[in-house]
Amino acid sequence: MNANAQTRPSAAPARPAFGTVLVDQMSVANFRDGRWSDAEIKPTGPIEIHPAAHVLHYASTCFEGFKAYRRADGGVHVFRMDKHIERMRQSARQLVLPEPDTAQLAQMVIDVIDRCRDQVPDAPGALYLRPLLFGTLANIGAASIPASEACLIVLASPVWDYFSGGMKPLRIYVEDQANRTAAHLGMVKTGGNYAAAMGPTLAARKAYNVDQVLFCPDGSVQETGAANFLLIRDKHIVTRSLDSTFLHGVTRDSLLTMARDMGFKVEERVFDVAEMFDWVKNGEAALSGTAAVLAGIGTLVHRNGEHKVGTGEIGPITQKLRAALVAIQNGQAEDRYGWTRKV
């Protein structure tokens, strides 16, 4: 199958791969002379970009990813859009890119949803929203000059159940030497971080037949290429404390907040590979993120051998926490946190 995204005007064929189908309209704004232009709705398709554009040389780009859900009554609700916009502004600041205006970006998202309301899939599908910011300043001598011109685009993609083949316990390779990315940029959602993780991830897939790589530079557990990592046992969760080395997941924050309210002891702290291997002898381990919510890990693969996580199946507490968050996202449980917004 062609891995390029296609636009699609109406109802989807059965379950295309995540991100390969886009709705046919997008919202675009440009930053020039110190201000953002009004946003415009345009057909989703190729854009013109100068070959000297800052992003093409100096990787000045960041993005976000979050979802809007269709509920049983037909209403469409976005999940924690404000938190994602805040994170995008933080990414832009770290990359010295013009910061998107919070209200304008929220309106661009809502405008795109409005144009494709009929294409928001029913649960367990959702509309995945992808704001994208990149430096357009045409200057190939700008390695240490920030992009004073930039483009902001909001794309949307109908996505179907991430676990359409049934939920399977993940096999994860534990990389205890290499870094996922530069330590000060781990918390920034920038393309370069994904490019940096790509090589080690593909190599581990080939060598060990794993789904993802858990990066643990110098033995300190961080995260995978696209999800945060949690250890779970009884009413106890351990996950890395927030620092600049990894992405501060909105799903992670949501799960920890809910777990605390459910009476869990939640420890956010640094921990190492040895402690993780010990924990999983009779505990659970899972990955959190927008795409999969909370995905159970069955096996941790290390260069010195394999470690089964609990029974090797998805743990019962992982499933319970996942179901509790999905219920809020889909409106089946009360949203006492104000995380969902009808649009």
Ligand X SMILES: Cc1ncc(COP(=O)(O)O)c(C=O)c1O
Residues in contact with ligand X by CB under 6 A are 65, 223, 226-228, 247, 249-252, 288-290
**Least distance (Å) between residue 287 CB and ligand X:** 8
Which residues neighbour 265 within 8 Å (Cβ) at sequence distance 6 or greater? 235, 236, 237
Longest dimension (CA), the chain: 59
**Least distance (Å) between residue 43 CB and ligand X:** 27
- In the chain, the N- to C-terminal Cα span, in Å, equals 34
**Least distance (Å) between residue 186 CB and ligand X:** 8
**Least distance (Å) between residue 42 CB and ligand X:** 25
Which residues neighbour 196 within 8 Å (Cβ) at sequence distance 6 or greater? 179, 180, 181
The smaller minimum CB distance to ligand X, of residues 289 and 298, is found at 289
Do 5 and 25 form a contact (C-beta atoms < 8 A)? no
Distance of CA 20 to the CA centre of its chain: 16
The smaller minimum CB distance to ligand X, of residues 223 and 284, is found at 223
**Least distance (Å) between residue 80 CB and ligand X:** 8
Alpha helix stretches (DSSP H) within the chain = 54-58, 81-94, 102-115, 191-208, 250-261, 273-279, 316-329
**C-alpha distances in angstroms, 342 versus 66, 311, 329?**
14, 40, 11
The smaller minimum CB distance to ligand X, of residues 129 and 247, is found at 247
Residue with tokens 């780009």: 61
The smaller minimum CB distance to ligand X, of residues 102 and 282, is found at 102
The smaller minimum CB distance to ligand X, of residues 226 and 238, is found at 226
CA angle centred on 141, ends 135 and 145, rounded to 5°? 55
The smaller minimum CB distance to ligand X, of residues 36 and 63, is found at 63
Q: What is the DSSP letter of 101?
A: P
The smaller minimum CB distance to ligand X, of residues 39 and 105, is found at 105
Residues making up the chain, counted from first to last: 343
**Least distance (Å) between residue 122 CB and ligand X:** 21
**Least distance (Å) between residue 154 CB and ligand X:** 16
Q: Can you read off the two tokens belonging to residue 244?
A: 């600049």
